[in-house]
Amino acid sequence: MDAIVTGGAGFIGSHVAEILLEQGHKVLVIDDLSGGFEANVPSGADFEKRSVLDPLDPIFQSYRPNVVYHLAAYAAEGLSHHIPVFNFMNNTVATANVLSAAYRAGAKHFVFTSSIAAYGHPHDAEPFDEMAACEPCDPYGAAKLACENYIRSFESYFGGPSFTIFRPHNVFGPCQNISDPYRNVVGIFMSRALQKKPMPVFGDGSQTRSFSYITSVARCIAEASTTPAARNAVINVGGDESMSVLVLAGEIAKVMGVPLDIRWLPSRKEVQSAHCNHDLAYRIFPRVYSEMVDIATGLKLMAEFVRQRPIPPLTECPSAIEISDQLPPSWAERLGNPVGSAV
């Protein structure tokens, strides 16, 4: 099988590309390196440095992939309120561009990583299942849901490619960018621990998430194209174990061997508790889910990885702030935009 992986120099994409290579597939990685690193591209994969907003037909027509795994995106959910145009361009418009090129090149299957953000705020205490109403509460979630709907409508109108849509959540592990201050709380905390600096916590840290170690998430994504039950399905993928941000900070301090040191920040508008039901994923990928790594073990594995490598240069906001109202003060200070000022 020939596969194209967009975002394959990023975190999840690089793991998916590596699994595909291990399974004997030919892989082309497309990435503009705006949030990923060329060192993440696994050995044996072809690599093309290119934005997924650029014309893609020449390379798609040359490569003729059987399957396209579209993982390229700028996934800073909280920041998306303040860069909405950039967010929609790099998620919704980019997905339309990749899907169109995939179709014209004859791809038979399209795998897309959406997000738990498509659900928005929970309506009750139950984890989201795939039948839950999607009411996203930020531009990132809205863009991901728009991509999902477009992929479905594309397949319905043109008769293909078939698709699998995943909604992962709070994934962490080796190769994650620990130098992006706007996303990936596990990476942010580990970076701060390495630098002996306090970990930034918004509000009281009681926000809860089901942090998900990368291996099973990436394997489900990689195996979707060869798993019949995943055809034209939307699937939650990730861990079941709930943990608050404050408890997470304590666990990371332990595995990094530093005292717990918190920089308390004002609360920001965000979902307080976000968790998913994974019954469908368990049924479709039973072997993969039986090997799910728990949070504590995953944190140890990631800590071992980040200790062996230098901290990457800071990955700053990739766009000028479009709306600065309600920008968290710590972000405004970093970006040089006084809160409430016109941009």
Q: 39 lies in a domain?
A: yes
Angle, in degrees to the nearest 10, between helices 94-104 and 139-158: 20
Distance CA 219, CA 229 (A): 15
Span 7-13, mean pLDDT? 98
CATH number, residue 61: 3.40.50.720
Q: 298 lies in a domain?
A: no
Residue 216 predicted with pLDDT over 80? yes
Burial of 144 (0-12, 13-18, 19+ CB in 10 A): buried
The 10 Å Cβ neighbour count of residue 203 is 15
**36 is in which domain, residue-wise?**
2-171+213-240+275-292
The structure tokens listed for 333 are 């200070």
Three-class SS state of 88: helix
Give the pLDDT confidence of 112-131 residue by residue, as tens digits: 999 999 999 998 889 999 99
Distance CA 3, CA 6 (A): 10
The continuous run of DSSP H or E covering 150 comes out as helix 139-158
Span 140-148, mean pLDDT? 98
Residue 25 predicted with pLDDT over 50? yes
Q: 47 lies in a domain?
A: yes
Span 209-213, mean pLDDT? 97
Phi, psi of 270 (to 5 degrees): -160, 165
Span 203-230, mean pLDDT? 97
Domain count, the chain: 1
Burial of 40 (0-12, 13-18, 19+ CB in 10 A): buried
Span 3-23, mean pLDDT? 98
Q: 191 lies in a domain?
A: no
Q: Is the peptide bond before 161 cis (omega within 30 degrees of 0)?
A: yes
Give the pLDDT confidence of 259-284 residue by residue, as tens digits: 999 999 999 989 999 999 999 999 99
Q: What is the pLDDT of residue 342?
A: 29
Q: What is the pLDDT of residue 115?
A: 97
Give the pLDDT confidence of 96-116 residue by residue, as tens digits: 999 999 999 999 999 999 999
Q: 302 lies in a domain?
A: no
Looking at every residue in the chain, the average pLDDT score rounds to: 95
Q: Evaluate whether 44 touches 27 at the Cβ level (below 8 Å).
A: yes
DSSP state of 91: I
Q: 269 lies in a domain?
A: no
Q: What is the pLDDT of residue 334?
A: 87
343 pLDDT band (50/70/90 cuts)? very low
Q: 300 lies in a domain?
A: no
Q: 199 lies in a domain?
A: no
